[in-house]
Amino acid sequence: MKTLLTILFPPYAVCRYGCISTCALPIASFWLGGLFLLGYYVTEGHQITNDVIRLGSLLVGLSLIGLSILWAQTTIARVRERNCKDGQRGILCQAVSPARKTSPDDYDDPLAEVERARDL
């Protein structure tokens, strides 16, 4: 499932299986750029384009999609290797516990906070 998701939708695979979302935006940019160029090739672009431009859009589109898939696989492998060894989760893989429910009485008065800040 992880490999299939990495091939079909690399940005989501990095967020889901790589425990990290910092690479998702650049990977998504490469992936979407490749899809756009493939769409340009499939729809035959503008009427004035020649075959060299169409072929270039096909090659660059496939290259960008290939790079995004490779980047996603590398990111997932590196994060898992470095941060999730032996079942212990590293700092990038820490689970965030849900926030505890608080009552309205637990909050300080916002105006009192402003007054304390002015007094400094």
3-state secondary structure (DSSP) of residue 114: helix
Question: Residue range 26-46: average pLDDT?
Answer: 87
Question: Residue range 20-27: average pLDDT?
Answer: 76
- The DSSP-derived string for 76-120 is HHHHHHHHSGGG---GGGPPPPPPPP--GGGSPPHHHHHHHHHH-
- Alpha-carbon Rg for the chain in angstroms: 23
**33, 71 Cβ separation under 8 angstroms:** no
pLDDT at 6: 83
**Which residue did the predictor score with more confidence, 116 or 91?**
116
Question: Residue range 45-74: average pLDDT?
Answer: 86
pLDDT at 60: 94
Q: CA 89 to CA 118: how far, in whole Å?
A: 43
Residue 92: pLDDT over 50? no
Q: CA 29 to CA 75: how far, in whole Å?
A: 15
Its pTM stands at 0.63
Q: Write the single-letter amino acid at 58.
A: L
Unique residue bearing structure tokens 């009552």: 103
